[in-house]
């Protein structure tokens, strides 16, 4: 006896999907089994990455960091002008002189920003002639305390640049390139609680790192001193002109006191070399490197290789599993809308 049963094809598809979902569920034992089967592939990938990371770490040159601790030295300046501003500000304004107030920029912060500026960096590099040590240093000869330059960039014998670059760059690095490179080596940090400032330089040579920190402190003190002296001289000239133009005795008194304050500023600048920053802890040539962390590089490289090997093994397994499931359930789906039992 033949019985013909009509069955919706969607039923076959839903049954197939349900069976496939059950087979797609992740089983931890299955994962461990897959990883164990591909253990040799994982070991090989891990070993390759471990060897590569060791080689990379060994090839990295040592970087030495020298730093100095500084204290602001300009707090006592400006006190006289502040007192005059509170006492004679109204009279001075009649003569067209602005004594200022408390809203002025912090001189220490101003010096830090000047230290980080492109103009100061460019002048510093040119003044001390350190462009080759900055841009072409390859490694440091410890025995002779000497920088070895990259021959593809700089010819030490002829003191010429031989690097091959495309326009608009030239064989000799520009100050813009030098500024970018120098900014990576220098760090200036100010402690918000103590107001102490730390200046540090990282370089292949510990001697150069120490020397550059010392030069930076000397140059920023000198630059800030020259700026204030020039400003005081211009202010004195202006005040003398104002004295000649006014007949009010009280205003003249204020102007004379202002000239006195400018003279104090000039005197203060001339007698002190540490004008903005006082050195608390000077820079030293470090005996130990600060970078690279070779052990960390090796560990991270090995871990990366292991994770990559496991990922490749699992991806390959699940891709093959999906392909097999697709082919298996495509055969189970009925061709027509009816079936005969």
> Tens place of pLDDT for every residue, the chain, 341 residues?
444 444 455 554 555 454 444 444 557 788 888 888 888 998 999 999 999 999 998 888 899 999 999 999 865 454 454 555 545 555 455 444 555 544 445 788 899 999 999 999 999 999 999 999 999 999 998 888 899 999 999 998 999 999 998 988 999 999 999 999 999 999 999 998 888 999 999 999 999 999 999 999 999 999 999 998 888 888 888 888 888 887 878 777 888 888 888 888 788 778 788 889 999 999 999 999 988 888 999 999 999 999 999 998 888 888 887 776 666 656 555 555 544 44
- Confidence (pLDDT) at 218: 94
- Confidence (pLDDT) at 74: 61
Q: At which residue do the structure tokens 């059950």 appear?
A: 22
- Confidence (pLDDT) at 12: 46
- Would you tell me the crossing angle of helices 294-332 and 28-37 to the nearest 10 degrees? 110
- Confidence (pLDDT) at 321: 76
Separation of alpha carbons 303 and 141, rounded Å: 33
- Confidence (pLDDT) at 232: 85
Nearest to 202 by CA among 296, 292, 72: 292
- Confidence (pLDDT) at 95: 47
Nearest to 300 by CA among 33, 50, 126: 50
Would you say 183 and 118 are in contact if contact means Cβ atoms under 8 Å apart?
no
Separation of alpha carbons 337 and 256, rounded Å: 110
- Confidence (pLDDT) at 266: 82
């Amino acid at each position: 006896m033949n019985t013909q049963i009509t069955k919706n094809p969607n039923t076959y598809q839903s049954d197939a999907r349900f069976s496939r979902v059950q087979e797609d569920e992740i089983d931890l034992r299955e994962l461990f089994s897959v990883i164990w089967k591909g253990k040799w592939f994982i070991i090989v990938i891990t070993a390759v990455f471990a060897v590569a990371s060791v080689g990379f770490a060994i090839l990295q040159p040592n970087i030495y960091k020298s730093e100095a601790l500084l204290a602001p030295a300009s707090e006592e300046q400006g006190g006289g002008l502040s007192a005059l501003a509170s006492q004679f500000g109204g009279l001075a304004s009649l003569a067209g002189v602005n004594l200022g107030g408390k809203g002025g920029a912090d001189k220490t912060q101003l010096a830090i920003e000047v230290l980080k500026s492109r103009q100061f960096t460019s002048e510093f590099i040119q003044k001390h002639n350190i462009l080759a040590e900055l841009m072409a240093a390859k490694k440091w000869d410890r025995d002779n305390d000497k920088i070895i330059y990259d021959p593809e960039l700089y010819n030490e014998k002829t003191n010429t640049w031989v690097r091959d670059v495309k326009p608009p760059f030239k064989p000799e690095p520009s100050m813009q390139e030098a500024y970018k490179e120098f900014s990576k080596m220098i760090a200036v940090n100010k402690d918000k609680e103590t107001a102490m400032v730390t200046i540090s330089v990282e370089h292949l040579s510990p001697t150069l790192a120490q020397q550059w920190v010392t030069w930076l402190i000397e140059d920023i003190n000198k630059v800030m001193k020259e700026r204030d002296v020039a400003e005081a001289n211009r202010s004195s000239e202006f005040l003398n002109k104002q004295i000649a133009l006014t007949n009010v005795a009280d205003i003249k008194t204020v102007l004379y006191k202002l000239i006195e304050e400018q003279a104090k500023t000039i005197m203060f600048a001339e007698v002190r070399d540490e004008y903005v920053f006082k050195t608390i802890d000077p820079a030293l040539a470090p005996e130990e490197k600060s970078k690279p962390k070779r052990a960390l590089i090796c560990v991270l490289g090995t871990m990366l290789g292991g994770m990559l090997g496991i990922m490749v093994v699992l991806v390959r397994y699940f891709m093959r599993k999906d392909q097999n499931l697709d082919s298996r359930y495509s055969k189970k789906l009925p061709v027509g809308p009816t079936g005969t039992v």
